[in-house]
A and B are shown apart, each in its own frame.
Chain A
Amino acid sequence: MKKTFKIKNLGCANCAAKMERRIKKLDGVDSASVSFMTSRLTIEADDERIEEIARKADSICRGIEPGCAVEL
């Protein structure tokens, strides 16, 4: 399943690229994309795991750019 989340306070384009790389490597993720301009994260993963992955993605984003958060 494909699901899109909004990312709050995404201010740095390079950070977006870093987030995308790290989220892609998460276990269970088929594909992931972080769009800097639209401040959106799209994850493609198994239905049951998508919430868990989104939470992990959230902590990745917070770690890379302070103040950044995935709206779950």
Chain B
Amino acid sequence: MNSEHKKILIRLAAGLCFLLAALLLPAEELFGEKYASFAELGLYLISYLIVGGDVLLRAIRNILHGQLFDENFLMSVATIGAFFLAEYTEAVAVMLFYQVGELFQSIAVSRSRSSIAELMDIRPDYANVEREGALSRVEPDDVKVGEIIVIKPGERVPLDGEIVEGESRLDTAALTGESLPRDAGVGDVIVSGAVNLSGVLRVCVTKLYGESTVSRILELVENAGDKKARAENFITRFARYYTPAVCGLALLLAVIPPLVFSLDWGAWVRRGLIFLVVSCPCALVISVPMSFFGGIGGASRRGILVKGSSFLEVLSKTDTVVFDKTGTLTSGSFTVVAVHPQSVSEEQLLEYAAYAESFSDHPIARSILSAHGKEIDRSRISRAGETRGHGVFAVVDGRTVVAGNAALMEGNGVGYHECHIAGTTVHIAIDGNYEGHVIISDILKDDASRAVSELKALGVSTTAMLTGDMEQVAASVAKELSIDTYSSELLPEQKVEALERLLMGKRPKTSLAFVGDGINDAPVLARADVGIAMGALGSDAAIEAADIVLMNDRPSDIAVAVRIARKTMGIVRQNIWFALGVKVGVLVLAAAGIANMWMAVFADVGVAVLAILNAMRCLRLSE
């Protein structure tokens, strides 16, 4: 509760005192029979003005601004109407109740706003930068790339960088939801937003603050309100027609029965006034964005960043999940597991392969280079190039070395043979003669199989895998993880085609999620109904391209994200139906003359408060 809220509370308490005075004071004894009713009315009016004066003022102000049908106006008309019907207690009490409800609402909103802000409390306040031999404390914004910053235990890492001195453990929970601290030492890349736990670190800054991980994440979370869900747009559109419609009904209800059927004016005007109170749209409108906000906040607490409520909505309908293989289901760290030469020695074959691959930064190339383990003498290479998606070639010591997949061998008219070991096979041909192959394999992530089984348990009907890797490898991964279908040996553009086929095959009204590592999957991420990028710490491309970003490298977080999305949508639906149900119920009762104005106020602010409390559940997800 802030000072503004406290002021309102004091005002309402004062108003309540006057109301009680009006109700309980023996007016006749104090003021005499003649003035008793005036005195009472005076007390009621004072109480009314203290409690609802601001509502009246705003109502007048808004009418001058051409804002008809706003809540202030509706409440003012309803309560003033009650005064004219000589129902003083009801008029004041209803205004009081309304104001208490509004106060609750306001407190709940500011609470949830700040609780999300706390969740995203990763903004560093300062950086200790080494300048001219001394350490000075500056704004993170003022630090340039290449400067050395010092991070002491307990401090937040202000900028992305590389450790040049020191060892420590880093707590990345605020970024990733991962509670286990990470060890970091010289040469490791560290990301802004993490908290340094144990040792002093000297870090060379690699990115400006504006481009650092922490600013990107904050920007993403702060802009999450942009992409609104259909449910959110539906409810604001609905409110636009609902309020004038109910107000119209209120007028008809107050006027027609007495005029046409000569019924009692007082009773029917009263029913009309109740309609006015119920016509306030706020309970409906507030609960939906609030629920989505809670869902997005709850997700970010677990290291799942959602770029807008519309993506939670789409994700909740996920029926098909398509995975990229490398870097998503597998760790992406390839290692050479076997070298099978035809005529040369193992070492020689590996050397030729390494020289051919030395210009490529593909993970396969890197694994061959690290297996070779020696410096590459670039002067031995006269020409080099890459056949995208197939392999590489280079002229080494005047001999043409071609290294790549089976298709590349066929394309060059080289006879080759497959290996009995499952893995990625890099065939090597020298001057058009087959010289053998190197087998590289990638390990599955620990939770890859759990990710697939949990999605199945959530009712996802199809899981699929798209990979540029070989058929043999794809088949063994798909089998091990029990993935329903897979396509292998896809070139980047074929991945999009394969995804489009899956999009056509999905069941109507369901959505397809694509999960990739975000680096080379941007077109596929964009084409899917919802694109999920993994392991985004440090990868800018992923944060750009995807709709949902998993900060951790864990595929099982996809199931968590789907569960959060479904829970959020469930709460959104509950809130919409609950608010509408109560409102319609009270309208029916009011038309029949059973409801009173108290019930009407409950249908407005009471429902809003309950809906907000319900929305706060979105923040939590049970295990």
Contact = CB atoms under 8 A, between A and B. Distances in A.
B564 interface: no
Interface in B155-212: none
Interface of A: 4, 11-15, 17-18, 20-21, 33, 35-40, 42, 63-64, 66
A56 to B, nearest CB: 14
B65 A17 contact: no
B293 interface: yes
Interface stretch (B279-287, B347-355, B370-378): B279-287
A33 B224 CA distance: 11
Nearest to A37: B293
Interface in B233-276: 236, 239-240
25 contacts: A12-B286, A13-B286, A13-B289, A14-B70, A14-B285, A17-B240, A17-B285, A18-B67, A21-B240, A33-B226, A35-B228, A35-B289, A37-B113, A37-B116, A37-B225, A37-B289, A37-B290, A38-B224, A38-B293, A39-B113, A40-B222, A40-B223, A42-B223, A63-B67, A64-B65
B595 interface: no
Contact of A36 (B58, B65, B226, B286): B286
B61 A12 contact: no
B37 interface: no
B237 to A, nearest CB: 9
Nearest 7 CB-CB pairings of A with B: A35-B225, A17-B236, A37-B293, A13-B286, A13-B285, A14-B285, A63-B65
Contacts of A4: 222-223
Which of A13, A35, A38, A39 has the most chain B CB atoms closer than 10 A to its own CB?
A13
B286 A42 contact: no
B447 interface: no
Contacts, number: 69
A12 B225 contact: no
B136 interface: no
Nearest to B292: A37
A8 B239 CA distance: 23
Contacts of B113: 37-39
Contacts of A17: 236, 239-240, 285
A12 B71 contact: yes
B384 interface: no
Contacts of B226: 33, 35, 42
A64 B71 contact: no
Contacts of B222: 4, 38, 40
Interface string B275-316: 000000110011001101100000000000000000000000
A39 B65 CA distance: 22
Contacts of A37: 109, 112-113, 116, 225, 289-290, 292-293
Nearest to A36: B289
Contacts of B225: 33, 35-38, 40, 42
Given A12-B286, A38-B293, 10 more contacts: A4-B222, A12-B282, A13-B282, A20-B236, A33-B226, A35-B224, A35-B226, A42-B223, A42-B225, A63-B67
Contacts of B290: 13, 37
Contacts of B116: 37
Nearest to B239: A14
B342 interface: no
Contacts of B66: 63
Given A12-B282, A13-B289, A37-B113, A66 B58 contact: yes
